[in-house]
Amino acid sequence: MGSTQMCNLVLFLAILHSVLAVCLGEDNPAESYWLLRFKSGLVDPAGVLDNWSPRAHMCSWNGLTCSPNQTHVLGINLSSSELSGSISHELWHLTSLEILDLSSNSLTGSIPSELGKLQNLQMLLLYRNSLSGKIPEEIGLLKNLQVLRIGDNLLSGEITPSIGNLTQLRVLGLAYCQFNGSIPSGIGNLKHLVSLDLQNNSLDGHIPEEIHGCEELQNLAASNNKLEGDIPASMGMLRSLQILNLANNSLSGSIPVELGQISNLQYLSLLGNRLSGQIPSQLNQLVQLETLDLSVNNFSGAISLSNAQLKNLTTLVLSGNDLTGNIPSNFCLSNSSKLQQLFLARNSLSGKFQLDLLKCRSLQQLDLSDNNFEGGLPSGLEKLEHLTDLQLNNNSFSGNLPSEIGNMSNLESLILFDNMITGRLPPEIGKLQRLSTIYLYDNQMSGGIPGELTNCTSLTKIDFFGNHFTGSIPATIGKLKNLNVLQLRQNELSGPIPPSMGYCKRLQIMALADNKISGTLPATFRFLTELNKITLYNNSFEGPLPASLFLLKNLNIINFSHNRFSGSISPLLGSNSLTALDLTNNSFSGPIPSALTQSRNLSRLRLAHNHLSGEIPSEFGALTKLNFFDLSFNNLTGEVPPQLSNCKKIQHFLLNNNQLAGTMPPCNKLSGNIPQEIGNLTSLNVLTLQRNNLSGSIPSTIQECKKIFELRLSENLLTGSIPPELGKLTELQVILDLSENSLSGEIPSSLGNLIKLERLNVSLNHLQGEVPFSLTKLTSLHMLNLSNNYLQGQLPSTFSGFPLSSFLGNEKLCGPPLVSCLESAGQDNKGLSNTAVVGIIVAIVFTSTLICLVMLYMIVRIWYNWRKVSISSTGGGGAEQRREEEKWEYGEKEKRRNGEYWKVNSMALVPSQDKQNPSTCIFHFKMDAEITGNTVV
């Protein structure tokens, strides 16, 4: 039976039931019909509506409440029934309905506007569905509605002003939707409203002044919107208010002192706004207040609040402001304080640790971090016996850590980093059985790490970075079974790593770098299967790596550089998740395993200064995320694999001091400056950096590359002048190409010292001045291109053999093969003399006419002949010359447009060895022991 037939059968049975109901004397049998129609639009996977059948009385159906005489449905409660589908537009026929609860389902579609006809409706609960569209204006017709909760849906648009007509409303829940626009001022008409929840929408505009009309309001939550402007002072009239949450908006101005009149207020949160000024002392009148959060605003001045007055306060959060001064001395006057959380971080508070805080015996969390507190920590800290979290980091606390801290038996988190604490870590620390985090980094502590620390078996994080701890790592560290971060870098620890370290099986980060630790790695490291970062650099480790390290499959970052490890690196390659591997400056030997290329996310590979041999694996071409590649100072042989051209992200590429041969793969687009360290490559033969995005000036240190015979820096963004130090590169022979940059200044005369140079190209720059006569000494030069600059003056006569295109685009440059300098000047003078002659002739004609009419015929002939001469001299050869100039100009424009300048010709003269890729970046190099530096290529 099809779905249509089934629906028709249900309707037929409903009609039959209605007929039978009439026969049996029921008052309103039609309601069951509309309920079945409602059911037909729903999907009911849990079978909640299975007993909605014409065969049973509707008052026995699940989720329905009927009138005492069993004739009308008063309530529908199908909350959390896993229903989907849409809400029927025909429910309005249930005119006696008082409660409609379809919350916490998966209903879609819009809220039917016909629900506005249910004049007896008192509760409409549609929250936690997937309803969309706007709030229908007809909702405002429900005069008896007391509870409207439609939040946590996909509803959007503005809040309909008709809600202001629901004068009996007590609960309005519109949170977690997509409403925008402003809060309607008509909200002030809801005098019986007890709860207003507008959180997590996109409401903007001001909070309406009329809100004070909600005289019975107890809960106002409008956090996480875009509300702006001042907090209305009229809110002080909401004397019944218990919860006020306006967090994470854009409210500005100061806190109105009238808020101190809300005597029943228990919760006040204004965090994450733009409020400023001083915190009003009138807030101390809120004697019922339990939570006050004013964090992340722009409040300034001293703290004016007192826990002695706010006797019920349990949480005070003032972090992230610009408060100054110290904590008030009368903040806690008795031991009866209920304060549990005090957060004053990220302010400008100063002074010594306020001893009156020790009277707040109920404190569980104290955060004074990121301030300017100074002086020693009080020995009475143990009086805060309930304290679980102590955060004093980023201050200027000094002196020793008091041993009494060991009596704070509930302490779980001790955060003291970035202070000036000195002295030893007291062994009493071992009494803190609940301690899970201890951060003491960036202090000046000294002495040994007490073995008692390993009695804190709940520890998960230890960070002692940047102190002066000495001695060895406690041999019993393996007792810390829950440890996942061990950070001991930059201390003065010595001795070997204790074998028990391998029993810290949950360890994820081990950072022991920058110490004096020695010995070999324990074989027990094989148990550290969750380890993902290990840094041991700058120590004195030695010997081969345990083969069992291959079992560590989760390693991401390994840095063993600057030690004395030896043997193969293969034990470190058990993980395919490596992103960084640095083994620089050790004594590793053997070939580079191709298995390393299985870590496809590898971005940093540094194996320099070892004894590695063999060839560079061609599989490295698969490491497409590689950006730092350093294999320098090894014994590598063979050719550089062309597959490395796939590594497009490489920025640092170092292969010097090996025995490699061949050519480099095509260049990637490099940016930034050419480093000054380029001069360290004293054995460099060829430097090709063309077609990149290099900027800045050409470093003068390049003069140290005495053996270079080919230098190409063209097609970059280089600026500044051509360094005269280039004239010291006397081995330059193949080419010096600086074209297509933004170089300026004059061509240095020192380039005349490059007597072996065969090709020189400085075209398409901003060079000016005269062409140095010293360039005539370049007798080996067979290609020269100075075109498209701002050069001027006369070319040396020896340059007449170069083609015209070598010099075009310099308007003030003259001499063969360009027009001669005299001819250029003469052309200008010729134009002036013709004009002058015409003027003189015209003057003579008019003068002669006045003197003698008799001579008219003769004068007319003379005038005619002169005019003929003038026309001939101005309209013949001059026009032909202009056409010739235009032809050259057009030709040069076409050449420039099509790229037909010297660089194209040079490719024909010196074709690339790579016929498949003419843009190959060739980096010939000769490796010998004289190279002492690194470079970026």
Q: Given the structure tokens 């007890």, which residue do they identify?
A: 194
More confidently predicted of 29 and 148: 148
191 is written with which tokens?
Answer: 């005098």
What pLDDT is recorded for position 69? 92
Q: Which residues contact 399 (CB under 8 A, 6 or more apart)?
A: 375, 376, 377, 421, 422, 423
pLDDT digits (tens, 9 = 90+) for 155-214: 999 999 999 999 999 999 999 999 999 999 999 999 999 999 999 999 999 999 999 999
Strands 587-591 and 564-567: parallel
Annotate 227-245 with b (16+ C-beta within 10 A) or e (fewer): beeebbebbbbbeebbbbb
Q: How far apart are CA 798 and CA 692, in angstroms?
A: 34
CA distances to 318, 320, 604 from 300, rounded to whole Å, are: 11, 11, 47
Sign of CA dihedral 461, 317, 315, 245: negative
pLDDT value of residue 686: 84
**Could you read off the pLDDT of 760-775 as tens digits, one per residue?**
999 999 999 999 999 9
Average pLDDT, the chain: 86
Percent of the chain past pLDDT 70, that is, above it, reads 84
Q: Has residue 899 got a pLDDT over 80?
A: no
Q: How far is CA 857 from the centre of its chain?
A: 94
Residue 164 DSSP symbol: G
pLDDT in tens, 448-468: 999 999 999 999 999 999 999
Where residue 850 falls among pLDDT bands split at 50, 70, 90? low
- Over the stretch 778-787, which tens digit does the pLDDT of each residue have? 988 999 999 9
Does residue 243 register a pLDDT over 50?
yes
> What six digits make up the tokens of 798?
């020896």
Q: What is the pLDDT at residue 666? A: 59
CA distance 724 to 702: 11
The verdict on whether omega for the bond into residue 29 sits within 30 degrees of 0, i.e. cis, is no
Distance CA 854, CA 909 (A): 76
Rg (alpha carbons) of the chain, rounded to whole number: 44
pLDDT of residue 797: 86
Q: What is the pLDDT of residues 76-135, one digit of tens each?
A: 999 999 999 999 999 999 999 999 999 999 999 999 999 999 999 999 999 999 999 999
Give yes or no for residue 1 having a pLDDT over 80. no
pLDDT score of 890 more than 70: no
Q: What is the largest CA-CA distance in the chain?
A: 146
Please say if the pLDDT value at position 13 is more than 70: no
What does the alpha-carbon distance between residue 295 and residue 272 come to, in Å, rounded to a whole number? 7
Name which of 182, 165, 176 is nearest 198 in CA terms. 176
pLDDT value for 427: 97
Query: Where does the pLDDT of residue 919 fall: very low under 50, low under 70, confident under 90, or very high at 90 and above?
Result: very low
Q: Concatenate the DSSP letters of all residues of 854-916 into one string.
A: TTHHHHHHHHHHHHHHHHHHHHSHHHHHHHHHHHHHHHHHHHHHHT-SHHHHHHHHS--S-TT
Please tell me the predicted confidence (pLDDT) of residue 687: 87
- Band the pLDDT of 821: cuts 50, 70, 90: confident
Which among 578, 573, 583, 523 is positioned nearest to 548, based on CA atoms?
523
pLDDT for the residue 548: 94
Report the C-alpha gap between 79 and 277 in whole angstroms.
47
pLDDT confidence bin for 648, thresholds 50/70/90: confident
pLDDT computed for residue 868 by the predictor: 47
As a whole number of angstroms, the distance between CA 380 and CA 357 comes to 10
Mean pLDDT score, 411-416: 98
- pLDDT (tens digit per residue) in 699-748: 999 999 999 999 999 999 999 999 999 999 999 999 999 999 999 999 99
What is the pLDDT at residue 661?
81
| 800 residue type, one letter | S
Q: CA 637: distance to chain centroid?
A: 41
pLDDT in tens, 31-78: 999 999 999 999 999 999 999 999 899 999 999 999 999 999 999 999
Q: How far is CA 592 from CA 534, 597, 601, 620, 661, in A?
A: 21, 10, 18, 10, 17
The predicted structure's pLDDT at residue 329: 86
Higher-confidence residue: 239 or 4?
239
Strand 73-77 to strand 64-66: parallel, antiparallel, or no bridges (unpaired)? antiparallel
pLDDT for 831: 44
Indicate if the pLDDT at residue 19 is higher than 50: no
Cα(177)–Cα(157) distance, integer angstroms: 10
Mean pLDDT, range 805-815, rounded to an integer? 91
Lowest model confidence (mean pLDDT) among 140-149, 602-611, 858-867, 889-898: 889-898
DSSP conformation letters of 349-405: EEEE--GGGGG-TT--EEE--SSEEEEEPPGGGGG-TT--EEE--SSEEEEEPPGGG
Residue 937 corresponds to which tokens in the numbers above?
């290529």
Those residues whose C-beta lies under 8 Å from the C-beta of residue 231, and which sit 6 or more positions away, are 207, 246, 251, 253, 255, 256, 259, 270, 275
Residue range 254-267, pLDDT digits in tens: 999 999 999 999 99
Local confidence band at 826 (pLDDT 50, 70, 90 cut-offs): low
What pLDDT, on a 0 to 100 scale, did the predictor assign at position 858? Answer: 60
pLDDT in tens, 534-544: 999 999 999 99
d(CA 904, CA 720): 26
Torsion of CA 859, 861, 867, 868, to 10 degrees: -160
| Cβ 527 vs Cβ 499: under 8 Å | no
Distance between CA atoms of residues 810 and 593, nearest Å? 57
d(CA 593, CA 568) in angstroms, rounded, equals 9
Q: Is the model's pLDDT at 667 over the cut of 60?
A: no
What's the whole-model pTM score? 0.72
Q: Calculate the CA 265 to chain-centre distance.
A: 40
pLDDT level of residue 225 (50, 70, 90 thresholds): very high
Q: Does the pLDDT at position 515 exceed 60?
A: yes
What is the model's pLDDT at position 927?
Answer: 31
Tell me the mean pLDDT in the region 565-580: 95
H-helix or E-strand containing 543? strand 540-544
Predicted pLDDT of residue 724: 95
